[in-house]
């Protein structure tokens, strides 16, 4: 049997563990695009990456304490404007219509007395890491699916008829140990267990014993992996519920592997097991901001984002060979380019290639509103797999990058900058 354990309103619940006055009231955690990394003054930005693997995104942060006014309020021409969106809201706030991704200004119109606190990702990462370790100590097989979701398979360890009681024990231990509420779904199918958690919320347990009857009337949008595009596609076949999916086996199987996989998951015959989600396959960072027309400023921001990615590369000791740059401009204009560079990675090489890519894709008169930089295709640094032409220079540059990384680990990511970041 599988258990899917989901922390209720995780960010909000985490904030309540350090500030009990937030309990029982409408409150939310908000965030906005972190543009602090672009400051020309030192901000002592650091990286938190306690959760290794692909399921949790690393976070850059500074030690500076944020308040609602300092984080969310911008003063423009003597007027105050509230920026940012709701990341997570408590159930008390949801009762007023507050939803995830809603602008904070709109949410406060719906619930004026709601308390909104700035996001504190180091707190969430550290708490998630502790919870993961707790589960590993209490269950034989655990998969961390996201920062606030976990799968466990207790087959052969807990009798099927005792799974509900075991889930109750885990739920209570989470309260006792972390003061964190969780909801738990139970099923013989991994993905039905995840679906069952939605039926368990908030702070409940739901066990699915008869999958066919359980899924019959559930809308297709409720199932993980069925996005808006696929919902529209299924709508053309008059498939609106998971029960409709079960009656459409021939159709789904005609869509080859993706269709078969989805059908098997929905009907609970997938036989998928707990996964070791493994190491990170790519490293990326993106930032959204008000339109910038100055090409030199856009390039400066690309270089700053590159420095942050370099820090992650050095921290996890990989050698990426595919570089990716995307610039979003106003009015829906997008420019992107990727390039595979089979060489030993270094900050100097990465930034040089990025500048060349930017010069190729930049829009002369457009206002940039978002920059995305990504690295992937990690390989070993064995000389036989990489270019030998520049091997001596590359090894020297890589050594320099590693030495600079040591300084940044000790004094912050912005202790050393390249000239094109100033």
**E strand spans, 218-364:** 282-292, 319-329, 334-340
Phi/psi of residue 142, each to 5°?
-130, 135
Q: Which domain holds residue 189?
A: 125-267
Q: Are residues 221 and 347 in the same domain?
A: no
pLDDT the model gives residue 49: 65
**Alpha-carbon dihedral sign for residues 345, 348, 353, 354:** positive
pLDDT the model gives residue 116: 98
Lookup: tokens for 369: 């509103």
Q: Is 113 within a domain?
A: yes
CA dist., res. 164 & res. 386, Å (int): 54
Q: Are residues 29 and 115 in the same domain?
A: yes
CATH number at residue 156: 3.30.70.270
Q: How buried is residue 156: exposed, middle or buried, by Cβ count under 10 Å (0-12/13-18/19+)?
A: exposed
Q: Domain count for the chain, please give it.
A: 3
Q: Is 353 within a domain?
A: yes
Active site residues: 149
Q: Are residues 246 and 263 in the same domain?
A: yes
Domain-ending residue, one of 71, 103, 119: 119
DSSP H helix total and E strand total for the chain: 15, 16
Q: Are residues 260 and 316 in the same domain?
A: no
Which one-letter DSSP state was computed for residue 341?
-
Lookup: tokens for 306: 């590159």
pLDDT the model gives residue 54: 43
Is the bond into 202 cis (omega within 30 degrees of 0)? yes
Among all chains, which residue has been given the structure tokens 């700053």?
A: 304
Domain-ending residue, one of 267, 297, 329: 267
Q: Are residues 112 and 144 in the same domain?
A: no
CATH number at residue 327: 3.30.1490.100
Q: Are residues 261 and 137 in the same domain?
A: yes
- The answer, as to whether pTM is greater than 0.75, is yes
**78-125 pLDDT per residue, tens:** 889 999 999 999 999 999 999 999 999 999 999 999 999 999 988 998
pLDDT in tens, the chain (422 residues): 999 999 999 999 999 999 999 999 999 999 987 777 888 877 777 777 655 444 556 677 777 788 999 889 988 788 899 999 999 999 999 999 999 999 999 999 999 999 999 999 889 988 999 999 999 999 999 999 999 999 999 999 999 999 999 999 999 999 999 999 999 999 999 999 999 999 999 999 999 999 999 999 999 999 998 989 999 999 999 999 999 999 999 999 999 999 999 999 999 999 999 987 666 788 889 998 989 999 999 999 999 999 999 998 998 888 999 999 999 999 999 999 999 998 999 999 999 999 999 999 999 888 999 999 999 999 864 444 677 788 889 999 999 999 999 998 888 888 899 888 88
Q: Are residues 23 and 129 in the same domain?
A: no
Q: Are residues 158 and 213 in the same domain?
A: yes
Which one-letter DSSP state was computed for residue 246?
H
pLDDT the model gives residue 385: 64
Q: How buried is residue 258: exposed, middle or buried, by Cβ count under 10 Å (0-12/13-18/19+)?
A: exposed
**E strand spans, 203-244:** 205-207
CATH number at residue 104: 3.40.1170.60
Q: Is 232 within a domain?
A: yes
Domain-ending residue, one of 208, 241, 267: 267
Q: Is 274 within a domain?
A: no
Q: Are residues 105 and 129 in the same domain?
A: no
Give the CA angle between residues 6, 7, 8 to the nearest 5°. 110
Neighbours of 157 (CB within 10 A): 12
Lookup: tokens for 301: 């921001």
Q: Are residues 165 and 230 in the same domain?
A: yes
Q: Are residues 310 and 379 in the same domain?
A: yes
Torsion of CA 218, 197, 3, 142, to 10 degrees: 120
pLDDT the model gives residue 278: 66
Q: Is 170 within a domain?
A: yes
Q: Is 199 within a domain?
A: yes
pLDDT the model gives residue 379: 82
Q: Are residues 234 and 362 in the same domain?
A: no
| Residues 27, 120 contacting (CB under 8 angstroms) | no
All residues at 6 or more sequence positions from 366 whose CB lies less than 8 Å from its CB, including other chains: 293, 329, 330, 331, 333
> Burial code of 360-374, b = ≥16 C-beta within 10 A, e = fewer?
eebbeebebbebbbb
Q: Is 84 within a domain?
A: yes
CA dist., res. 106 & res. 52, Å (int): 36
Q: Is 277 within a domain?
A: no
**Residues shown for the chain:** 422
């Amino acid at each position: 049997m599988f258990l899917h354990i989901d922390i209720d309103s995780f960010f909000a619940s985490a904030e309540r563990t350090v500030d009990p006055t937030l309990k029982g009231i409408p409150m939310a955690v908000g965030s906005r695009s972190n543009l602090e990394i672009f400051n020309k003054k030192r901000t002592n930005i650091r990286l938190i990456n306690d959760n290794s693997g692909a399921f949790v995104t690393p976070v850059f942060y500074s030690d500076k304490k944020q308040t609602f006014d300092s984080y969310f309020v911008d003063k423009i021409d003597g007027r105050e404007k509230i920026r940012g969106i709701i990341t997570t809201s408590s159930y008390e706030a949801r009762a007023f219509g507050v939803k995830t991704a809603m602008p904070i200004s709109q949410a406060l119109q719906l619930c004026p007395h709601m308390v909104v606190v700035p996001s504190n990702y180091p707190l969430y990462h550290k708490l998630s890491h502790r919870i993961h370790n707790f589960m590993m100590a209490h269950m034989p097989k655990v998969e961390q699916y996201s920062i606030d979701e976990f799968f466990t398979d207790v087959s052969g360890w807990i009798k099927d008829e005792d799974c509900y009681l075991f889930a109750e024990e885990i739920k209570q231990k989470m309260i006792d140990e972390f003061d964190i509420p969780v909801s738990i779904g139970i099923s013989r199918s991994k993905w039905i267990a995840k679906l069952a958690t939605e039926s368990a919320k908030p702070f409940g347990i739901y066990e699915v014993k008869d999958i066919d009857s359980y899924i019959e009337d559930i809308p297709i949008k409720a199932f993980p992996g069925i996005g808006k595009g696929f919902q529209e596609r299924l709508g053309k076949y008059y498939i609106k519920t998971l029960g409709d999916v079960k009656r459409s086996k021939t159709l789904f199987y005609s869509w080859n592997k993706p269709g078969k996989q989805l059908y098997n998951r929905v009907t609970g015959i997938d036989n998928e097991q707990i996964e070791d989600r493994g190491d990170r396959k790519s490293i990326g960072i993106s930032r959204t901001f008000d339109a910038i027309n100055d090409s030199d400023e856009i390039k400066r921001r690309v270089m700053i984002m590159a420095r942050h990615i370099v820090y992650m590369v050095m921290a996890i000791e990989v050698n990426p060979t595919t570089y990716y740059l995307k610039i979003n401009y106003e009015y829906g204009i997008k420019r992107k380019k990727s390039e595979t560079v089979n060489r030993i990675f270094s900050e100097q090489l990465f930034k040089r290639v990025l500048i060349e890519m930017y010069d190729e894709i930049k829009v002369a008169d457009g206002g940039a509103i978002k920059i995305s930089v990504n690295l992937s295709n990690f390989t070993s640094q064995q000389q036989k797999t990489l270019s030998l032409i520049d091997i001596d220079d590359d090894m020297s540059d890589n050594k320099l990058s590693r030495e600079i990384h040591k300084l940044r680990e000790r004094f912050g990511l912005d202790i050393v900058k390249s000239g094109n970041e100033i």
